[in-house]
Structure 1
Amino acid sequence: MSPPPPTPDGHLETKDETDVTDVSTEQTQAELTYPRPQLVRDRWQDLCGEWDFAFDDDDLGLAEGWMSGGGAFDRRITVPYPPESKLSGVHDTTPRPVVWYRLRVALDRPTEGERLLLHLGAVDHSARVWLNGDLLGRHEGGHTPFSFDVTESLVEGEQVLVVRAEDHADDVTQPRGKQDWLEEPHGIWYHRTTGIWQPVWTEVVPQVRVDALHWTPDVVGARVRVEATLSRVPATGGRVRVRLRLGEELLAEQEVRLLDRHVAFDVALPAARHGQYRGRLLWSPSNPNLVDAVVEVVEDGRTVDTVRSYFGFRSVGVEDGRFVLNGQPCFLRLALEQGYWPESHLAAPSAEALKREVELVKELGFNGIRIHQKVEDPRFLAWCDRLGLLVWGEMPSAFEFAPRAIERVTREWLEVVRRDRSHPCVVTWVPLNESWGVWDIGEVEEQRHYATALYHLTKALDGTRPVISNDGWEHTDSDIWGVHDYAAHGASLAARYDGPDAVRRVLSDRRPGRKRVVLGDPVDRGQPVVLTEFGGLSYTPSEGEKWFGYATVGSVEEFEDRLRELVSAVLDSSELAGFCYTQLTDTEQESNGLLTEDRRPKLPVEVIREILTRPARAIPPEEIDASRRAAARASLDMMPPVE
């Protein structure tokens, strides 16, 4: 049995796509190609495309003055694809410690009272940036965005933009995730992603403007907290005005006086006070409502800046061993998402590919993903918001425990949480995975302090979401006990998670991942137990083919039977609150995806969907029925139950 072919537009042939929301309006499409979807302005310029490029293996560029635009730029590269990838046009996978980029371009120019900002979505691992020979600044951290005000460096006519990126394959204190430190990929590690790999763009902005914007919904309190950071306080009479709409319905309008660059205030949502009618406002995978926002900065009665944004009105938490969404138990059906494409590596091949990836996940029957060892493009998260997909956000790991690694991971993780905490799709934070970078956490007290500190630091930054200290095993303190268990057969899973006593043994001493799941005595705060990695089924490889899988099957029929067996064992457990299947797609030598690396399903979509969506024993049918009856009483527009 071969996978069904894609249709001409790349859409898989499947009869059931009712969970995929239609977001094909021109306005939505335009806004979701914008590189920063939760703070949108109209005047921006995309700088992606053909740039000059050079390797600098001997690190001579600084001494020879390449930052001024001269130097040995002897080839071309297509930005934002990394030079290791095919789509970059370079396709050189040799470890290169230093690379340079140069772009000669006519930039949109600010008028009087305006500024021009340069934005870089992500440059791996550290970057220096010049415009017309002026050093704009530096940034370290290969997964998070940074910006510069370039107004004072503009010249008449053509501008020369230069970026130097430094990325040492042998420096394992860098947060690198699944990028291999060896020259050729091995095991579960992939080709590197060096240099620019997310959009580069400019934006014309007013001098007094919104530089950062965050939303924190409070469902019980019928309000949303707004946090805004301005470039500066208006000279006189400064105010911030917020208008919130659900479709055409005006939910709230509020204006506050500015006394500081940083302002935080609550906006009441009267429509959410009606308990029998609140559900029409709520965000969930089955009903991904978004509240549209317009935020204006007003000076002396004149609007000087306007940005568009949105948020999802929803709550998440844990209670009595279950994950809870909007006050209702929600069984987690997640896929492990590497976010890697064969032709473009960590960079998506197109903006459309980001949307299509989310659609694929939903069509297969998952209600969420665990983004693994990667910080995803904000446009991807925006599609998860729009289409309704739960996301676990995870920090790419460093592989050495050292002060430098601690500083690097912590600093970049703060940037990740700050960037993504307003996305309703993000429902769990994972700063560490499988003791990567804290290899001796069971024996070394300092490593335990580090994991616990990351847990508490994340909770301090965002107290609205569950946090996992060290997913997979060797938890210090977590809101969810994430367990990695690659049992080859369903019978083993069924026995291990058969009732509360069996699960307690798994947490304390059974070691399904060869290490203790929880260090010390598990503190019971009602944490759910979620099988956050399992499965990993691989077809038998061809002779001489590189491959990796956790269990091997020899045919499509055996693949379906084993997948059904493993998933059924999880769904039949009364104690497991969800699962994350390893993995969504084949990725380089990892051949354990439900899809091939070019996103073709290994089984018919309807078969995978049927296997994954069967009711879970952990949420008894009577509870689901009660939720549906309550929803029907409330309103025909009430949110469907989350199971």
Structure 2
Amino acid sequence: MHKKIRQALACGVTLLCLLPALAAPTLQNIQARAHQSLNGRWQYIVDPYETGYYDYRRQPYDQSASGSGGFYDDRQPRDKGELVEYSFDGSPTLAVPGDWNSQAAKLELYEGTVWLRRRFEAPPRADKRYFLHFGAVNYEAHVYLNGRKLGTHIGGFTPFQFDVTDQLKPGQNTVVVKADNTRHADAIPTVSTDWWNYGGITRDVLLAEVPATHIVDYKIQLAKNDLHRIEGFVQLDGPAHQPDVTVTIPEAKLATTVRTDATGRAAISIPVSSLRYWSPEDPKLYGVTIAAGADRVEDRIGFRTIATRGRDILLNGRSVFLRGVSLHDENPLIPGRLRGEGDMRMLLQWAKDMNCNYVRLAHYPHSEAMLRLADEMGLMVWAEVPVYWTIAWQNEATFANAAQQMTDLVVRDRNRAAVAIWSIGNETPVSAPRNAFMGKLADTVRALDDTRLVAAALEVHREGREITMQDPLAERLDLISFNEYAGWYWASNRDMLDYRFTIPHDKPVLVTEFGADALAGLHGDADTRWTEEYQDQLYKNQFRMLDAIPGLRGITPWILVDFRSPRRPHPVYQDFWNRKGLISATGERKKAFHTLKAYYDAKERQYTNKVGVLDAAGEEKRR
């Protein structure tokens, strides 16, 4: 990364201590605001040498005295003698949102810089403020409007925006984005992952219009472990001083009006006598309206509590088993990132077809639309940031990046009832620097939201035939959550049942990954790797192993669907695909899909009348 970007990250902000315009806090529930979509066809220039950003002395054009000279100027020759060595007008187009890898054959394996340009009409009004919002750009984005740099954002999966009120002009405007998906050793994630590094503007681009004083953020959720009180806040921004804020939930006959303080913040506390609590069996969402002055935002919010007690996970006070599966933000049937609600609904419905009540959205923040669909469809969610494998643990800038991505995820999705667990990482190796890094990240999450569980996908240790949890980070988390690959990366179907788990912690156990590769349609006996029979038998063996753990309260096998990965080159069985999916790249359900469904059907029956409901006083009773 650029030296100044490292310094910016160390400041603990989103790369803004060096930029000509500060990024604004992202608006909560951006789609509910008045907005103009800038999705569509963007013209692009591939720039592997970053010619459009650096001069021949490797100095950034946008940091020069003139601030011009790069591709972001979108220059046109003034006469037939002027030399201009690029042109968006003659360039091909990419669909936005969308990754470039799946849209152009020459970009399938490309990692580097691509410039994207979009022209749009805007009639700005003097009494409004305007924000240019990006749902996600992978990985480093430099954004320019009408030739002027708005700022830079680092992180491939979280939203960001810029206040462009003073930069918009009547008539035609031009936005240019330098998107760079180059991997870095001190980035989040780091250089080595097991998923495709899709580059580009992968989520919605919007120009939002709000009143001068407007609602920036809000949280409207049940208080921690309290089914009888809604708590939260509303945060305003703008010139109006201490206006009233009203929150109404008409269907529940609830309303409150409070005055903001000098910072524009109003605390919300509403007693509740009767609500339909959100659950996978009854994913009830209430219409909620937040109003302040000339601004008004409507949302659909579910209300539920999630907590642990001993080895139980309690949803609305009732013990629950998390019947889950992991999934990536990728459509196997059409190459590339999920393109919209149809793709997302397909994957979540496949999970529900398997009788899942829960999904692990790995290994990075998925789209806000995915979380809203999980709310609607009744699926609890494990939401994760890409602190993945070996991170630069002692680099302060790297921690600041991780903490910012975690903050952006929590702020964006803290009104979604579906989110039950915030995950701070996956398979990170134990060491003193890593333990300190991850411990601080757990503290960051708890400071942002104390109403959900905090976890990480840890790794197990093997001593002889005993599988144990020796990671000290487990003491800082609400769950004993771990990945284990008995039968695939160690042991086999023949000998995996000789192993046993010893988990001494008095916490719920959640197994976040296990699995085996199976090439759909390849059949053989249960001892032949890559066959559906091997994968199926491994699942049956896993169930026998895991059910012996007294505190087992959920699993998310790896993975719902086969997905693309550069780490998987075997020409016969993989061809750059991870084949651990229960559904193939063509949508075919493998044998293990049906085996897992049968297991979940039995778990659902087991927990239907399980002890674990709390009465109003918080005491356990039998339903």
Return the TM-score normalized by structure 1: 0.76
Counterpart secondary structure, 1:408: helix
Superposed counterparts of 1:394-473, under 5 Å: 394-397=384-387, 399-401=390-392, 402-403=394-395, 404-435=397-428, 439=429, 441=430, 444-469=431-456, 471-473=458-460
Letter in 2 for 1:252: L
Counterpart contact for 1:55–1:96, Cα < 8 Å: no
Counterpart for residue 324 of structure 1: 314
Counterpart for residue 189 of structure 1: 194
Superposed counterparts of 1:24-43, under 5 Å: 38=29, 40-41=31-32, 43=34
- How many angstroms apart in 2 are the aligned matches of 1:463 and 1:494? 39
Residues 1:105 and 1:331: Cα distance change in structure 2 (over 3 Å): same
Counterpart for residue 83 of structure 2: none
Deviation at 1:160, TM superposition (A): 1.1
Counterpart contact for 1:454–1:469, Cα < 8 Å: no
- How many angstroms apart in 1 are the aligned matches of 2:34 and 2:257? 25
Residues 1:155 and 1:483: Cα distance change in structure 2 (over 3 Å): closer
From 613, 619, 626, the equivalent of 2:601 is 613
Counterpart contact for 2:245–2:257, Cα < 8 Å: yes
**Residue 49 (structure 2) pairs with residue 44 (structure 1):** no
* 1:416-475 superposed Cα distances (whole Å, 9 cap, x missing partner): 22222221111111112111xxx4x2xx42222112222222222221222125523434
Counterpart for residue 198 of structure 1: 203
Q: CA RMSD in A?
A: 3.2
Counterpart for residue 92 of structure 2: 75
Counterpart for residue 480 of structure 1: 479
Superposed counterparts of 1:504-583, under 5 Å: 504=504, 524=505, 526-539=506-519, 553=529, 556=532, 559-571=535-547, 573-583=549-559
Counterpart contact for 1:191–1:345, Cα < 8 Å: no
From 118, 121, 130, the equivalent of 1:103 is 118
Letter in 2 for 1:570: L
Counterpart contact for 1:37–1:309, Cα < 8 Å: no
Deviation at 1:345, TM superposition (A): 6.1
Deviation at 1:552, TM superposition (A): 5.6
Counterpart contact for 2:497–2:545, Cα < 8 Å: yes
**Residue 278 (structure 2) pairs with residue 283 (structure 1):** yes
Counterpart secondary structure, 2:304: coil
**Residue 292 (structure 2) pairs with residue 297 (structure 1):** yes
* 1:536-588 superposed Cα distances (whole Å, 9 cap, x missing partner): 34248989xxxxxx996565556545434433543465431221111111112
Residues 1:39 and 1:117: Cα distance change in structure 2 (over 3 Å): closer
- How many angstroms apart in 2 are the aligned matches of 1:475 and 1:540? 39
Counterpart contact for 1:241–1:297, Cα < 8 Å: yes
- How many angstroms apart in 1 are the aligned matches of 2:368 and 2:609? 38
Superposed counterparts of 1:25-174, under 5 Å: 38=29, 40-41=31-32, 43-62=34-53, 63=61, 64-70=69-75, 71-73=86-88, 74-85=91-102, 88-89=103-104, 92-107=107-122, 109-169=123-183, 171-174=184-187
- How many angstroms apart in 2 are the aligned matches of 1:120 and 1:196? 8
Counterpart for residue 176 of structure 1: 189
Stretches of structure 2 lacking an aligned partner (at least 5 in a row)? 1-25, 54-60, 62-68, 76-85, 461-470, 565-576, 617-621
* 1:135-163 superposed Cα distances (whole Å, 9 cap, x missing partner): 22222222111112223222332211111
By relative contact order (CA 8 Å, sep 6+), the higher-ranking structure is: 1
Counterpart contact for 1:290–1:312, Cα < 8 Å: yes
Counterpart for residue 271 of structure 1: 273
* Of 91-100 and 409-418, the range deviating more from structure 2: 91-100
Counterpart secondary structure, 1:582: coil
Counterpart secondary structure, 1:468: strand
Counterpart secondary structure, 2:603: coil
Letter in 1 for 2:483: H
- How many angstroms apart in 2 are the aligned matches of 1:342 and 1:620? 33
Stretches of structure 1 lacking an aligned partner (at least 5 in a row)? 1-34, 182-187, 273-277, 299-303, 505-523, 544-549, 632-639
- How many angstroms apart in 1 are the aligned matches of 2:47 and 2:331? 26
Counterpart contact for 1:165–1:195, Cα < 8 Å: yes
Return the TM-score normalized by structure 2: 0.78
Counterpart contact for 1:82–1:193, Cα < 8 Å: yes
Counterpart contact for 2:30–2:208, Cα < 8 Å: no
Letter in 2 for 1:481: I
Letter in 2 for 1:82: D
Counterpart contact for 1:223–1:266, Cα < 8 Å: no
